[in-house]
Amino acid sequence: MLVLALDTATPASTAALVEVTADGLVGVVERRTVDPRAHGEKLAPEIAAALAKAGFRPRDLTAIVAGVGPGPYTGLRVGLATAASMGQALGIPTYGVCSLDALGRAAGPGRVLIATDARRREVYFATYADGVRVTGPEVAKPADVAVLLAGAVATSLAGAADRAAGEGALKYGDVFGVPVEEHLLYPPGAALVAIAVERIREGAPSEILTPLYLRRPDAVEPAARKSVLT
């Protein structure tokens, strides 16, 4: 089964093809462009390039897995709208996966903090133990996350971490005070598919791809105009 994985929850536009077999996963190709203001322009070409490089066509796809965030409003919606429209056009199911969970799974064994850049000098974050989410996802200032980490270590509570990954961790690594895995910044397509693999194998019904924002969008509805009549 050939699966397309998409993620636009970070500054990266990621499109990956993953073959799901009876006993595992095989990464076919992954394409990624990092540009926080160009998800709408970059994602479709990345999908086309990934398919062309692997020698497949859209009709060869069995399912689509999309990262649902958390992430900034505009970029995140590009990936989810693309996945939903492709799934509907091709008549194949779509499945959603928390983008932080993909990073947490890719980080492997141990206790790890996953943090992505939420802008406004904040991060989206969650903690993982051996790839399984323990706390989060939440949004907070890096200093507040550091306090939570220190408290978890001091009291042996869930949420402790001895390393960090994600582009938010790279940006604020000095604040968190734990080593940062600089090679793991964006959600890998294969990890997204791995989290959804049972749904894919079972042929589960298509899911509504609900974005995980964690906070209101920056854009606000303008206030009503005041009357100048007396």
Q: What pLDDT is stored for residue 215 in this prediction? A: 75
Please check whether residue 140 is in contact with residue 91, taking contact to mean a CB–CB distance below 8 angstroms: no
Q: Where are the beta strands (DSSP E) in 57-110?
A: 61-67, 94-97
Q: What pLDDT is stored for residue 160 in this prediction? A: 76
Q: Count the neighbouring beta carbons within 10 Å of the beta carbon of residue 16.
A: 26
- For residues 88 and 113, state if they share a domain: no
Residue 100 — very low, low, confident or very high, per pLDDT cuts 50/70/90?
Answer: very high
- For residues 8 and 56, state if they share a domain: yes
CATH number, residue 42:
3.30.420.40
Number of structural domains in the chain: 2
Mean residue pLDDT across the chain: 91
Identify whether 116 is part of a domain: yes
Question: Has residue 225 got a pLDDT over 70?
Answer: no
Please name the residues in contact with 225: beta carbons below 8 A apart, sequence gap of 6 or more. Answer: none
Please name the residues in contact with 51: beta carbons below 8 A apart, sequence gap of 6 or more. Answer: 17, 57, 58, 60
Residues 33, 15, 50, 104, CA torsion sign: positive
- Domain boundary, last residue among 176, 194, 211: 176
For 154-172, the three-class secondary structure string (H helix, E strand, C coil) is HHCCCCCCCEEECHHHHHC
Q: What pLDDT is stored for residue 150 in this prediction? A: 84
- For residues 191 and 86, state if they share a domain: yes
Q: What pLDDT is stored for residue 156 in this prediction? A: 52
Residue span of the structural domain in which 132 resides = 108-176
Distance CA 29, CA 26 (A): 9
Of residues 156 and 165, the one with the higher pLDDT is 165
Supply the pTM of this predicted model: 0.90
Question: Has residue 223 got a pLDDT over 60?
Answer: no
Residue 131 — very low, low, confident or very high, per pLDDT cuts 50/70/90?
Answer: very high
Per-residue tokens: 104: 């947490």
Q: What pLDDT is stored for residue 61 in this prediction? A: 98
Residue 226 — very low, low, confident or very high, per pLDDT cuts 50/70/90?
Answer: low
